A and B are shown apart, each in its own frame.
Chain A
Amino acid sequence: MDLANPTRFMSFSGRLLPWLGGACALAFAAGLYLTFFVAPDDYQQGATVKIMFLHVPAAWLAMMCYSIMAISALGTLVWKHPLADVSARAAAPIGAAFTFLSLVTGSLWGKPMWGTYWVWDARLTSVLVLFVMYLGLIALWRTMEDPIRAGKAAAVLTLVGAVNLPIIKFSVDWWNTLHQPASVMRLDGPTIHPTILWPLLTMALAFTLLFLVMHLMAMRNEILRRRLRTLQLGAAGTRVAAARPQAAE
């Protein structure tokens, strides 16, 4: 199926969305049940470990969303794929929301556990930079009226900003940070007990499905926005052409 064609993409995504939405609802039901009724308290964090079931998936998605935008930016600049810029532009507000959630939930976990809402350590600061990057990209897309020009400029800025992704990932290894090192995605396997790991992975799946649902919805809106702009420009051109002979008379 040629999904590069926006019309075919609209048809395909319209059929896919209800299934994705159902799977997302089921995954959240299972994840929240495991979170509140199965997962035990952590021996150090107590019940605040339940914040991790939101914080960790939000942080993963904040980075995954930017990675998708970076791949889309390559699609815009290198392959000139018609849906690449649509995908990147649609992902930006969702990525900003997940980054915001990762910062806020991390901060609300930090107060009872670290004794402070915020420290300027490398992990927290690099995620804050990611949030600012998202806001900057949204502003850039909104500033330029021509979506093709805006898409190219945003693609360049997105690729420049992608250098922040490895900094976020490895900040806890490269510098001494208050933020703990990776405990799930490690070469020697997760260091979390399965009774907490499985609820966490279920919530991560639910959040990933949520992202896919919202991304598809936002992409469909963006395609409609571009159709509307094309029609409005076409209608304006027709009006100008129709007015010309009268002006000449």
Chain B
Amino acid sequence: MTGLLDLGPHAGFIFACYAITLATVAGLFAWLAADRKALTAALAKLEADGVRRRSNTPASGERG
């Protein structure tokens, strides 16, 4: 059994793989979160300016 810190002569390659994978996944999550934040802010600004989706207007809302 090999422990976490005893990865033999190729430990650098193993750590590099896990580090790159972690960085890529973290980057994807950061991009998704930033994208959502920007979109939500833009939608909130439009709604604050009085622009509404048709389904959110009172007339169509009554029709369900």
Contact = CB atoms under 8 A, between A and B. Distances in A.
Interface string A22-53: 00000000000000111011000011101100
B49 interface: yes
B3 A36 contact: yes
Contact of A37 (B1, B16, B27, B51): B1
Interface string B12-28: 01101110110011011
B17 A108 contact: yes
Contacts of B52: 231
A210 B26 CA distance: 11
A51 B15 CA distance: 9
A145 B2 CA distance: 53
A139 interface: no
A105 interface: yes
Tell me whether chain B's interface is mostly helix, strand or loop, or mixed: helix
Contacts of A37: 1, 3-4
Interface string A212-249: 00100110110011011011101100100000000000
A57 to B, nearest CB: 10
B20 A105 contact: yes
Given A50-B14, A58-B21, A94 B28 contact: yes
A54 B16 CA distance: 12
A101 B4 CA distance: 21
Tell which of B3, B7, B10, B17 has the most Cβ of chain A within 10 Å: B17
Interface of B: 1-4, 6-11, 13-14, 16-18, 20-21, 24-25, 27-29, 31-32, 35-36, 39-40, 42-43, 46, 49, 51-53, 55
18 contacts: A36-B2, A37-B3, A41-B8, A46-B8, A47-B8, A48-B13, A50-B14, A54-B17, A54-B21, A97-B24, A105-B21, A214-B28, A214-B29, A220-B36, A224-B39, A225-B39, A231-B52, A235-B49
Interface of A: 7, 36-38, 40-41, 46-48, 50-51, 54-55, 58, 93-94, 97, 100-101, 104-105, 108-109, 111-112, 210, 214, 217-218, 220-221, 224-225, 227-228, 230-232, 234-235, 238
